Structure 1
Amino acid sequence: MTDTVPQLDDGPGTDAGPPRGGRGRRTALIAVAVAVAAVVAVVGALGLGGGGDEGPDAPPRTGSLVPVTRATLTERTRVDGRLGYGAETPLPVKATGTVTWLPEAGTTAERGDTLLRVDDRPVVLLYGSLPMYRDLGLTTAAPGGGTAPGDGTGEGTGEGTGVPGERQPDGGTGKATAASPSAAPAVPVPTGAGTTAVTELRGMDVLQFETNLAALGYTGFTVDERFTARTAAAVERWQKALGVPQTGTVGIGDVVYSGGKVRTGRPGVRLGEAVGENALTYTGTARKVVVDASAADASWAVRGTTVRVRLPDGTSVKGEVASVGRQASAPEGGSGEDGSGPGAATLPVTVTIEDQKSVGRLESGPVTVEYVGREVEDVLTVPVAALVALAEGGHGLETANGDFVAVKTGLFADGKVEVSGPAVREGLKVRIPE
């Protein structure tokens, strides 16, 4: 039987014959080249290579010659995410009574701002990591020794704060904290009615509160772990500005601490209802991205890893992995046993965006997070469309004169593939199969 496949023109000055194995082999090689190109296209579609801020170059035309080039290939993978402010957390409101004012959802509150009002009394935001766990104020000594009794809210029967020259609240009946293990020994303080022994509270919570009080501009005391008569005087000035009784004592429900500015969420109560644990929620004020990453393929999710976040308008901003959840969860419908597919278990990955201005005014929406999987530097590359399948297995390239050389493939990325082999060199011209 005669092979009727025409001989390809190898160009002028070329006398090299067909590759080892004859024309029949060459015909088979050319026939499978299209299949190889299709496989490569599928690889790219699955996200195993390519991507980045700049798209890959337009693919070369079939039949054209392209050089083997030396370059750096970077494998990028994209996953879906959600832009927002993160999960809402209940504020630890410890006031008791009826809610008389609530902020609008999305309001930003800073140190000294009112978060809500309970019995028409403001609950103020302060900064700190230690929660408010007791009243802060002076304790006056009771007749016969000891301290004036309290009711747990700071109401006492002492002689006021005992601050020289300061008006004594409630006609001499001051607000005092109940006795505390961290209270200092009683200190005699001169008052208009004589000398009154008061007990100064001590503790890290006092230091935290005094730091905030001074930051709000109410000074005249030493910022330390002691709540003194001078601290009480500054508290009275602060209370006057807030429009509340000037007692010199801060109740456990008067303030709420957070690590910084907060963005209020949707209230959990309505006006007129009793305040509860979920009366008001909050988030941070910085926009971030949450990704449900596949638990089986989350090796990229390491704290500090740099990623790119593609916004709905097509712009791309820099992000950084801030945290990775430790508890995997599966979507509705169960989880896949192989760790992949629609029921695959996922881990929440939080990505922060340092340059908040780069996000513009967008507050929420779907985004795409792109991360670098692998990267190889200074390697020989060709367009993936140049690969052909060899009859004996593996891949090869067709040279300008029609010869086929075997190559070993490496990383697929950016529309190119890493190739190596004894017959492959930089600048070698290879043909894109038709």
Structure 2
Amino acid sequence: MTARGIALGAGALLLLAVAGAATLGLGGRAATDPAPERSGPAATGVVTRQTLVRSVTLAGELGYGPTVPLASTAPGTVTWLPEVGATVRRGEAVLRADELPVVLLYGFLPMYRPLADGVKGSDVRQFERNLAALGYEGFTVDDDFSAATATAVKRWQKDLALPETGAVERERVAYAPGAIRVAEHLVRPGAAAAAEVLSFTGTTRVATVSAGPGEAAWAARGVAVTVSLPTGGSVAGAVSSVGPVTAAAAGSGDSAAAVEVTVAIADQKALGALSGAPVDVRYVAERAEDVLTVPVDALLALAEGGYGVEVSGDAGTRVVAVKVGLFADGRVEVTGDGLAEGVRVGVPE
């Protein structure tokens, strides 16, 4: 017998008891006024065909992403640093040492040696690409630092008020993947310039989620997510990077390992002025396409095991055993004999 069948049997016994009490003059419904018999479920829901999606939400933070230290090899003393929060772009000074600029250029190779006429290598190509992007001409962007490159370098040095040598000193350039936002000063003006002088981030806001290793298995570059903002709106995002498993910081009181997931957000305007704000990052954990579903509370626990639903129709009601699949948003995927879109099933009132 089903759980609902047991409940119906108990209701019938109660009606008999009330009728007996009325016969004995103890009150209740009179025998001459019988209760109406139930001919179907108290309420019904409908079988629908749809796509079910189960989402998982993780707490995150909106900011500019992890910070990276910027190391200077310039001799002398730091005489100027850009303000915290300032954006530094290609060709601009990222610091001054003895009042001479250290210039930010874009690239992934560090400036590991001086560049001059006759030097060859991929670091030459990287530098020449930046020189061309800054508008200097008259040379070919390749692996060869030529006399023509040296001539263009002299023009660049003149514009920076540097000695016009035609050679690029190692300490005169700092590379980053793109424009940077100054996150923190690591030294003050007056300190030695040959040091990590500041930390920086990218210039676009991202959402970061710190998850346990078991919670980050879903995260892969390009996975779409939805970022819910504290202002009430939401924006689309996509995973841009997944960090390695790291232990919690010493003294934090949390010894659990964590994985940092970074989510890129294309629509920066939708974020308004938000930064350093808590956000919710929601991703799709499971999806069932084009399946039959019923309300979760339509399920009956069968005495023989498993689940069933009480199908209601013109011919009355019957219990149909079902196989359940994905649960999501108050509905559950089901398959069973005679189930089809539009069929009505019993649910509690």
Mean Cα displacement is larger for which, 424-433 or 370-379? 424-433
Shift of 1:208: 2.0
Q: Are 1:369 and 2:251 matched, yes or no?
A: no
The yes-or-no answer on 1:429 pairing with 2:347 is no
Tell me the alpha carbon deviations over residues 325-378 of structure 1, each in whole angstroms, 9 at most, x when there is no partner: 23243575455xxxxxxx5x4322122223333333323311111111111122
TM-superposition CA deviations, 1:135-168 (whole Å, max 9, x none): 2235xxxxxxxxxxxxxxxxxxxxxxxxxxxxxx
Aligned residue identity for 1:375? R
Q: Secondary structure at the match of 2:290?
A: strand
1:126 aligned to 105, 113, 135, which one?
105
Distance 1:231 1:70 in 2: 67
> What does residue 340 of structure 1 align with?
none
2:152 to 234, 240, 258: 234
| 1:224 and 2:224 aligned | no
Q: 1:270 aligned to 188, 201, 211, which one?
A: 188
Gaps of 5+ in 2: 13-40
Deviations 1:53-92 (A, max 9, x none): xxxxxxxxx9432221111111111111111111111113
- In 1: Cα distance, 2:164 partner to 2:122 partner: 24
Please name the residue that 2:333 is paired with: 418
Amino acid at match of 1:225: D
Match of 2:218 in 1: 300
* 1:383-428 deviation line (CA, Å, top 9, x unaligned): 1222233344433323444543333222111221112222433322
Contact 1:28–1:391 (CA under 8 A) maintained in structure 2: no
Residue 279 (structure 1) aligned with residue 197 (structure 2):
yes
State which of 46, 54, 57 in structure 2 corresponds to 1:67. 46
Structure 2 CA distance, aligned partners of 1:105 and 1:116?
Answer: 12
Query: Which deviations, in whole Å up to 9, do the C-alpha atoms of 1:279-316 show, x marking residues without a partner?
Result: 11111112212212231233211222111111222222
Matched with 1:26 is 8
Post-superposition shift, 1:203?
2.5
Deviates more, 1:243-252 or 1:116-125: 243-252
Q: Distance in 1 between matches of 2:347 and 2:267?
A: 44
Tell me which of 52, 70, 75 is aligned to 1:96.
75
Q: 1:253 aligns with which of 154, 158, 171?
A: 171
**1:348–1:95: structure 2 CA closer, same or farther, 3 Å change rule?**
same
Q: Deviations over 1:118-144 (max 9, x none)?
A: 100011111222211122235xxxxxx
Q: CA RMSD in A?
A: 2.7
Within 5 Å, give how 1:29-428 maps onto structure 2.
63-138=42-117, 200-330=118-248, 332-333=252-253, 343=256, 345-400=257-312, 401=316, 403-428=318-343
Alpha-carbon separation, structure 1, partners of 2:11 and 2:193: 77
CA distance in 2, matches of 1:135, 1:321: 38
C-alpha displacement of 1:431: 2.5
Q: Deviations over 1:164-184 (max 9, x none)?
A: xxxxxxxxxxxxxxxxxxxxx
- 2:330 partner letter: G
Question: TM-score, normalised to structure 1's length?
Answer: 0.66
Q: Per-residue deviation at 1:93?
A: 1.5
Q: 1:74 to 1:210 in 2, by over 3 A?
A: same
- The separation in 2 between residues aligned to 1:231 and 1:28, in whole angstroms, is 95
Report the CA distance shift for 1:242/1:119 in structure 2 as closer, same or farther (over 3 A): same
Q: Give 1 or 2: higher strand fraction.
A: 2
For structure 1, the 5+ residue unaligned runs are: 1-18, 31-61, 139-199, 336-342
- SS of the residue corresponding to residue 171 of structure 2 reads coil
The 2-side partners of 1:315 and 1:381 are apart by 29
C-alpha spacing 1:385/1:265, structure 2 compared with 1 (3 Å): same
The change in CA–CA distance for 1:396 and 1:91 in structure 2 (over 3 A counts) is same
SS in 2 for 1:112: coil
